[in-house]
Amino acid sequence: MDIASQPARKKRRWPKIIGFSVLGLVIILSVILVAANMYAKRSLPQISGEIKLQGLIDKVNVVRDEEGVPHIKAKNDHDLYMAQGYITAQDRLFQMDLSRRQASGQLSEVIGESSVEQDKFFRTFGLRRAAEASYEGYSDEMKAYLQSYADGVNRFMKEAIAENKLPVEFTLLGYEPSEWTIIDTLTIVKYMAYDLGGHWEGQVFRSYLLSEFTEEEAMDLFPAYPEVAPTVIEEGAIDWEESFASAHIPDEFNGSNNWVISGEKSESGSPLLADDPHLGLMTPSIWYQSTLQSNEQNISGVTFAGIPGIIIGHNKNVAWGITNVGPDVQDVYIEKINPDNPNQYLYNDEWIDAEIVTETIKVKGQKAIDHEVMITRHGPVISEFAHDNKSDTALSLKWTALEATQDLEAIPLMNKASNWEEFDAAIEHFKAPSSNFVFAAKDGTIAYKASGKIPIRKKGESLVPVPGWNDDYEWEGYIPHNELPTLINPEEGFIATANNKIVDDSYPYHISNVWAQPYRQQRILEVLNAKETFTVEDMKALQMDIKNLQAEEFVPIFLEQLSNQKLSEQEQEAVNLLKKWDFEDDEAETAPLLFQTMLLEISDVLFGEKISDEMMDLFEGKNQVIDELIRHANEGEEGPWIKNNGGLSKVIHQALKQTTDTLSERYGDDMSKWQWGDEHKLQFSHPLSRVSPLQHIFNSKDAIPVGGSAVTVQAARRNDETGIVNHGASWRYIIDTSDFSKAYHIVGPGQSGHFKSDWYNNQFEDWVTGDYHITTLDEPINEDQTLTLTPN
Classify residue 306: in a domain, yes or no: no
Query: CA-CA distance, 602 to 652, in Å (whole number)?
Result: 7
Residues 216 and 177 in one domain: no
Q: How far is residue 609's CA from residue 126's CA, in Å, rounded to a whole number?
A: 36
Q: 64 in a domain, yes or no?
A: yes
Share of the chain above pLDDT 90, in %: 82
Residue pair 233/207 in contact by the 8 Å Cβ criterion: yes
pLDDT at 68: 97
Distance of CA 231 to the CA centre of its chain: 33
Residues 372 and 243 in one domain: yes
Query: What digits encode the pLDDT tens for the residues 719-742?
Result: 988 999 999 999 999 999 999 999
Q: For residues 366 and 236, state if they share a domain.
A: yes
pLDDT value, residue 246: 56
Three-state secondary-structure class, residue 21: helix
- On whether the CB atoms of residues 775 and 300 are closer than 8 A, the answer is yes
* Whole-angstrom distance, CA of residue 475 vs CA of residue 360: 32
Do 98 and 229 sit in the same domain of this protein? no
Please give the Cα distance from 615 to 467 (Å, whole number): 22
pLDDT of residue 242: 55
Residues 6+ apart with CB under 8 A from 769: none
CA gyration radius, the chain: 28
What local confidence, expressed as pLDDT, does residue 405 receive? Answer: 97
- The more confidently predicted of residues 385 and 114 is 114
Q: CA nearest 70: which of 41, 54, 48, 51?
A: 48
The average pLDDT across 746-767 equals 96
Domain identity same for 24 and 138: no
pLDDT at 25 over 70: no
Q: What is the pLDDT of residue 44?
A: 95
**What is the CB-side half-sphere exposure of residue 134 using CA atoms within 13 A?**
31
CATH at 83: 1.10.439.10
Torsions phi, psi for 657 (to 5 deg): -60, -45
Distance CA 655, CA 358 (A): 49
H-helix or E-strand spanning residue 187: helix 182-196
CA–CA distance, 206 with 204 (Å, rounded to integer): 6
pLDDT at 614: 87
Both 387 and 369 in a single domain? Answer: yes
Determine how many CB atoms are found less than 10 A away from the CB of residue 697: 16
Catalytic residues: 256
Q: Do both 76 and 158 map to the same domain?
A: yes
What would the pLDDT profile of 546-561 be if each residue is shown by its tens digit? Answer: 999 999 999 999 999 9
Q: Extract the annotated binding site for Ca(2+).
A: 328, 331
User: Where do runs of H (alpha helix) occur along 610-748?
Assistant: 613-616, 622-634, 640-643, 648-667, 695-698
Least confident residue range of 34-43, 208-217, 359-368: 34-43
The reply to whether 280 falls in a domain is no
CA angle 514, 253, 68 (to 5 degrees): 145
CA 303 – CA 411 distance, rounded (Å): 10
Q: Which of 654, 682, 710 is the last residue of a domain?
A: 682
Q: DSSP per residue over 572-622, as a string?
A: HHHHHHHHH--SB--TT-SHHHHHHHHHHHHHHHHHTTTS-HHHHTT-TTH
pLDDT of residue 122: 95
Q: Is the residue at 236 inside a domain?
A: yes
Residue ranges making up the domain that contains 26: 3-42
In this structure, the answer to whether residues 228 and 375 fall within a common structural domain is yes
CA gap 498, 710 in Å, rounded: 12
Q: Judge whether residue 35 has pLDDT over 80.
A: no
* Cα 775 from Cα 71, distance rounded (Å): 10
- Report d(CA 410, CA 417) in Å as an integer: 10
**Residue-wise pLDDT tens digits, 437-474:** 999 999 999 999 999 999 999 998 889 999 999 999 99
CATH code, domain carrying 215? 2.30.120.10
Are 131 and 186 a contacting pair, CB within 8 Å? Answer: yes
Q: Count CA atoms closer than 13 A to 602's CA, side-chain side.
A: 24
Strands 724-729 and 681-682: parallel
What is the pLDDT at residue 686?
94
Distance CA 761, CA 771 (A): 14
d(CA 707, CA 717): 10
152 and 18 within one domain: no
Q: How far apart are CA 444 and CA 316, in angstroms?
A: 13
Residue 64 dihedral angles phi and psi, to the nearest 5°: -95, 135
* d(C-alpha 206, C-alpha 253), whole Å: 19
Alpha carbon 746 to chain centroid distance? Answer: 17
Q: How confident is the model at residue 199, as a pLDDT?
A: 80
Regarding whether 390 and 243 lie in a shared domain, the answer is yes
- Looking at residue 380, what DSSP letter applies? B
State the burial class of residue 56 (Cβ atoms within 10 Å of its Cβ: 0-12, 13-18, 19+).
buried
**Looking at per-residue confidence, does 316 or 238 come out higher?**
316
What one-character-per-residue DSSP string does 710-729 give? TTSSSBEEEPTTT-EEEEEE
Strand-pair partners of 725: 682, 718
Domain CATH number, residue 662: 1.10.1400.10
Per-residue model confidence (pLDDT) at position 386: 45
Residue 725 lies in a domain: no
Residues 292 and 310 sit within 8 Å (Cβ to Cβ): yes
- Confidence at 241, pLDDT banded by 50, 70, 90: low
Predicted confidence (pLDDT) per residue in 130-142, tens digit: 999 999 999 999 9
Asked whether residue 659 is domain-assigned, the answer is yes
Provide the pLDDT confidence category of residue 692 given band limits of 50, 70 and 90: confident
Q: What is the pLDDT of residues 622-666, one digit of tens each?
A: 999 999 999 999 999 999 999 999 999 999 999 999 999 999 999
**Which of 402, 423, 450 is a domain's end point?**
402
Q: How confident is the model at residue 252 (pLDDT cuts 50, 70, 90)?
A: low
3-state class (DSSP) for residue 139? coil
In degrees rounded to 5, what are phi and psi of residue 250? -65, 150
Q: What are phi and psi of 564, to 5 degrees?
A: -105, 15
Residue 693 is predicted with a pLDDT of 83
For the stretch 507-528, pLDDT in tens is 999 999 899 999 999 999 999 9
Beta strands 49-53; 786-791: pairing state: parallel
| Rounded Cα–Cα distance for residues 363 and 175 (Å) | 13
| CA 669 – CA 677 distance, rounded (Å) | 17
Write out pLDDT tens, residues 421-444: 999 999 999 999 999 999 999 999
Q: Identify the H or E element spanning 125.
A: helix 116-125
DSSP at 180: P
What is residue 30's predicted lDDT score, i.e. its pLDDT? 47
Q: What pLDDT is recorded for position 461?
A: 84
Q: Which residues neighbour 404 within 8 Å (Cβ) at sequence distance 6 or greater?
A: 130, 133, 134, 136, 137
Q: Beta strand pairing status for 70-73 and 60-64?
A: antiparallel
- The reported pLDDT for the residue numbered 557 is 98
State mean pLDDT over 693-708: 89
Same-domain pairing of 36 and 71: no
pLDDT at residue 93 is higher than 60:
yes
Give domain status of residue 350, yes or no. Answer: yes
Q: How many domains does the chain have?
A: 4
- Phi-psi region at 269: left, alpha or beta (left = phi > 0; alpha = psi -120 to 50): left
Q: Mean pLDDT, the chain, as a whole number?
A: 91
Q: Which of 682, 703, 738 is the last residue in one of the domains?
A: 682
Q: Does one domain contain both 32 and 107?
A: no
Residue 670 lies in a domain: yes
